[in-house]
Chains A and B, each alone.
Chain A
């Protein structure tokens, strides 16, 4: 993209810039031709209007329903009528019933909804195109006050911080293990993370399918995964190049795992908070226990690289917080101002981070294996790691 820095003469620089500008000028000409001739010979009018509307946020208050919608179609869109559960209902739109492309509007409806009941809402555009959204179980949407912040903090605590720390508490016990078991644990961590990464990717793609066309959900997923992966990779290479001891490098990897898991938990927290704030979450204490069971493994994964070493307790504390606390932040964001494209991006970042950490672990394993190859231990560890998440998943779904 840049001109070659070795050419210092201004004449050459100007010429290069000029050469760069020619296609840009031609492009402007082509666009102008299309605009002036309305299509330059192409029939650009569709047979039927193409419209898109994304429901980005649903807010329920006593006797009121509010939808934050975004025009995800190629043209302006005008909202005409609203039908709730097979009844035409009166509504107000602000700022305007005509929503520009990518523009937002808020639909306000006075409706006597009933706690815990489902509602199907149809919004018709003036072109009689229906857009549907569902409230799965109506409940008052959380508003940001001290009480709700505390609630979301507690959610994040249970979802992220506590399981991660419970895993870390295995540290003293695991230190007693021999090299074969340590190798097994590293492989197991890799297996866990591969499973998490695949899971997060699949969730990101599912959510991506639901956000509007202009936001290019799948592209957003790719962007999040690739960029996060390369960024973490670059950081870890820099750390290695600094030329510290192997123990320091292993500590760095442990921190990287914590960051990866933390980013993953951020995406999870976001989804939980969003689901919770619209009442789509079901009550069940035994599920929490199951959840802690499953996520304990995350803490285990964080400490696996440093079991041979003697990291400071403060380091372990930081790792636990980095790995777990983002779930709290995620729950806040998701619960109080959820925006689906952001959810997609965070899930993808989490997936990218987790995959990069798997890569780091395998580099570490490779180093150990160079001294003493244990292929079957590696195989068994990864398999058990993946199976662990699969089986705990079976128990709680």
Chain B
């Protein structure tokens, strides 16, 4: 009802109208109604959405479910889907060659139940496949642009200029081979670098690029997860309407990530958020070791909340001591209620 403001004479009139109520002794009904509203606790049986067991109020969240089958990707799978190479071989130099096939495409993705987002994707999924290699491996990426728009693949890492995916724009239907050594070790990303850049990233052209140290990470993790944080600008107004980990908002809230007490969990965390300056990660009822960019084997911090600017990333390691359900979410809390919320379910 936005019909009632800035109307001049009526604006005055309605103000006058309420004044009369102040004078009127008979306005009991409205006043009692107001007193009621001071404590707007819904009736216990008002929980019609599956959160009734919680008792208090509705939790933020979607109505309905995203059709992951139709999307052809599921964030629950993305979480542990590390691609060590579509083809792996050894070069004559003894260096390991990891080859990957990538294509860019246009695709409608159901981003929230009922809402289709005309996305641009790598290999039909968002985030794109998580490329994983060891430091010093040789990476070869056969890229085909199957989209109707020009795209590239720009890797964060160390490589020659012509492999940087900025000035060599790949037109629709064209191919390009990106080739470089995986370095330095750490948590990195790749994304399209065609202008306007924010648009190409927000449309879905990004993914994680994990480079393990030559001898692996010092601690052996029981579980490794990839989490790419981003936003969803579903109405294309240059601002995010929803926020997510691995593209579908609230996914891990509806489908908790299951781990066990005592397991060492390693999360590779990448912030691919556009339009908003910072993002964050907060873990409930626990602390984690934080390795910024994953480029050092010594954690910089033992904390439960980490702030990340655009394109910042790193590695978390933690262990849960007690069983139960624990939230993790952006402690930029408005992001949390707009989709960047998940649950880790720790089993005994």
Asked if A397 is at the interface (CB within 8 A of a chain B CB), the reply is yes
What A residues does B11 contact at CB under 8 A? 397
> How near does chain A come to B320, taking the closest CB pair, in angstroms?
27
In the complex, A360→B5 CA distance in Å?
34
Closest to A292 in B: B16
| Contact indicator A280/B1 (Cβ below 8 Å) | yes
Distance A150 CA – B9 CA, assembled complex (angstroms): 24
Per-residue interface assignment for chain B, residues 19 to 43, with 1 indicating a CB less than 8 Å from any chain A CB and 0 otherwise: 1111110111110111011111111
Which listed segment binds A: B113-121, B186-194, B202-210, B220-228?
B113-121
Whether B2 contacts A281 by the Cβ 8 Å rule is no
The answer to whether A136 and B16 have CB atoms under 8 Å apart is no
Residues on A with C-beta less than 8 A from B32 are 147
Query: Is the pair B112, A284 in contact by a Cβ cutoff of 8 Å?
Result: no
Residues of the A chain whose Cβ atoms lie less than 8 Å from the Cβ of B112: 80-81, 88, 124
Is the C-beta of A111 less than 8 angstroms from some C-beta in chain B?
yes
A68 smallest CB distance to B (angstroms): 10
Encode contact with B along A145-180: 1 for CB under 8 Å, 0 otherwise. 111101100110111000000000000000000000
What separation, in Å, do the CA atoms of A288 and B13 have in the docked complex? 8
CA distance A177 to B42 in the complex (A): 65
* Contact yes or no, A155 B1, CB < 8 A: no
Establish whether residues B8 and A280, one from each chain, have CB atoms under 8 Å apart when the complex forms: no
Closest residue of chain A to B334 (Cβ to Cβ) is: A86
A142 touches B30 (CB 8 A): yes
Contacting residues, chain B, for A62 (C-beta < 8 A):
36-37, 39-42
Across the interface, name the chain B residue whose C-beta is closest to A392: B12
A375 to chain B, nearest CB (A): 30
Number of B interface residues in the complex (CB < 8 A): 69
Is B18's CB within 8 Å of the partner chain A? yes
Write out, one digit per residue, whether chain B residues 52-63 have a CB within 8 A of any chain A CB (1) or not (0).
000001111111
Instruction: Give A264 to B131 CA distance when docked, in angstroms.
Output: 71
* Chain B positions within 8 Å of A57 at CB level: 1
Counting CB contacts under 8 A, is B126 at the interface?
no
Q: How far is the CA of A86 from the CA of B38 in the complex (A)?
A: 22
Chain B nearest CB: distance from A125 CB in Å?
A: 8
Say yes or no: A63 contacts B16, CB within 8 Å: no
Do the beta carbons of B62 and A275 come within 8 Å of each other? no
Q: Does A322 contact B (CB under 8 A)?
A: no
B291 to chain A, nearest CB (A): 32
CA distance A129 to B64 in the complex (A): 18
Asked if B49 is an interface residue, CB under 8 A from chain A, the answer is yes
Contact residues in B for A132 (Cβ distance below 8 Å) = 2
Q: Is the CB of A88 within 8 A of B339?
A: yes
Q: How far apart are B85's CB and chain A's nearest CB, in angstroms?
A: 36
Q: How far is the CA of A113 from the CA of B42 in the complex (A)?
A: 10
Alpha-carbon separation in the docked complex, A268 to B24 (Å): 20
Mark interface residues in A101-139 (1 if CB within 8 Å of B CB, else 0): 000000000111111000000101011111011111011
Which residues of B lie under 8 Å from residue A251 when comparing CB positions?
none
Complex contacts, B250 vs chain A, CB 8 Å = 88
A8 located at the interface, meaning its Cβ lies under 8 Å from any Cβ of chain B in the complex: no
Looking at A111, A129, A145, A287, which has the most chain B CB atoms within 10 Å of its CB?
A287
Task: Known A62-B36, A280-B1, A290-B16; judge A88-B21 contact (CB<8 A).
Answer: no
Looking at chain A's contact residues, the main secondary structure is mixed
Contact in complex: B9, A203 (CB < 8 Å): yes
Q: Which of B4, B49, B117 contacts A280 (CB 8 A)?
A: B4
CA distance A288 to B59 in the complex (A): 43
Contact A64 to B42, CB < 8 A, known contacts A88-B249, A88-B337, A89-B60: yes
Asked if A92 CB lies within 8 Å of chain B CBs, one says: yes
| Closest chain A residue, CB of each to CB of B36 | A62
- In B247-272, the 8 Å CB interface with A consists of 249-250
A157 and B20 alpha carbons, distance in the complex (Å): 9
Q: Hey, which chain B residues are within 8 Å of A146, CB to CB?
A: 29
Once A86-B337, A139-B34 are accepted as A-B contacts, the answer to whether A151 and B24 lie under 8 Å apart by CB is: yes
Taken together as a complex, chains A and B put the C-alpha atoms of A151 and B22 apart, in Å, by 11
Q: B235 contacts which chain A residues (CB < 8 A)? A: 124, 128-130
Scan residues 180-224 of chain A and give those whose CB is less than 8 A from a CB of chain B.
199-200, 202-203, 206-207, 210-211
B87 within 8 A of A: no
B70 at the interface (CB under 8 A from A): no
**Interface residue A291 (Cβ < 8 Å from any Cβ of B):** yes
Given A128-B235, A136-B5, A397-B12, verify A80-B115 contact (CB < 8 Å).
yes
Check A272–B14 contact: CB distance below 8 A. yes
Which A61-111 residues sit within 8 Å CB-CB of chain B?
Answer: 62-64, 78, 80-83, 86-92, 97, 110-111
Q: Which of A64, A283, A343 contacts B3 (CB 8 A)?
A: A343
Closest B residue to A151 by CB, please name it.
Answer: B27
State the Cβ distance, B64 to closest chain A Cβ, in Å.
8
Indicate if A25 sits at the interface (CB-CB under 8 A).
no
Q: Evaluate contact between A287 and B15: CB separation under 8 angstroms.
A: yes
Nearest chain A CB to B302's CB is how many angstroms away? 31
- For the complex formed, measure the closest distance between the CB of A149 and the CB atoms of chain B, giving whole angstroms: 9
Asked whether A202 lies within 8 Å of B21 as measured between CB atoms, the reply is no
Q: Find out whether the CB atom of B117 lies under 8 angstroms from the CB atom of A128.
A: yes
Q: How far is the CA of A288 from the CA of B14 in the complex (A)?
A: 9
On whether the beta carbons of A291 and B1 are closer than 8 Å, the reply is no
Tell me if B7 counts as interface (CB < 8 A to partner A). yes
What is the CB-to-nearest-CB distance from B304 to chain A, in angstroms, rounded to a whole number? 22
Cα distance, A140 to B8, chains bound together (Å): 25
Bound together, the chains give a CA A89 to CA B10 distance in angstroms of 33
Say which residue of B14, B36, B38, B117 sits within 8 Å of A281 (CB atoms): B14
Task: Specify which of A78, A276, A397 is in contact with B18 (CB 8 Å cutoff).
Answer: A276
Question: Do the beta carbons of B40 and A276 come within 8 Å of each other?
Answer: no
Cβ A63 vs Cβ B21 within 8 A = no
Residue of B nearest to A124 (CB): B115
Contact: B14 with A154, CB < 8 Å?
no
**Do B7 and A206 touch across chains, with their CB atoms under 8 A apart?**
yes
Residues of B near A154 (CB, < 8 A) are 20-21, 24, 26-27
Instruction: Name B2's contact: one of A81, A133, A155 (CB within 8 Å).
Output: A133
- In the complex, 23 of the A-B residue pairs with CB atoms within 8 angstroms, ordered by the A residue number, are A80-B113, A81-B115, A86-B334, A87-B60, A97-B114, A112-B41, A112-B42, A128-B115, A128-B234, A128-B241, A142-B29, A147-B29, A155-B17, A158-B17, A206-B7, A272-B10, A274-B3, A275-B4, A275-B10, A281-B14, A281-B17, A284-B16, A393-B9
Q: A128-B117, A154-B20, A282-B18 are in contact. List 6 more A-B contacts (CB 8 A).
A: A87-B338, A151-B27, A151-B29, A280-B4, A283-B22, A396-B15
Q: Interface residues, chain B, CB within 8 Å of chain A?
A: 1-24, 26-30, 32-34, 36-43, 46-49, 51, 57-64, 112-117, 234-235, 241-242, 249-250, 334, 337-339
Top 4 nearest A-B pairs (CB, nearest first) are A147-B29, A87-B337, A80-B114, A291-B16
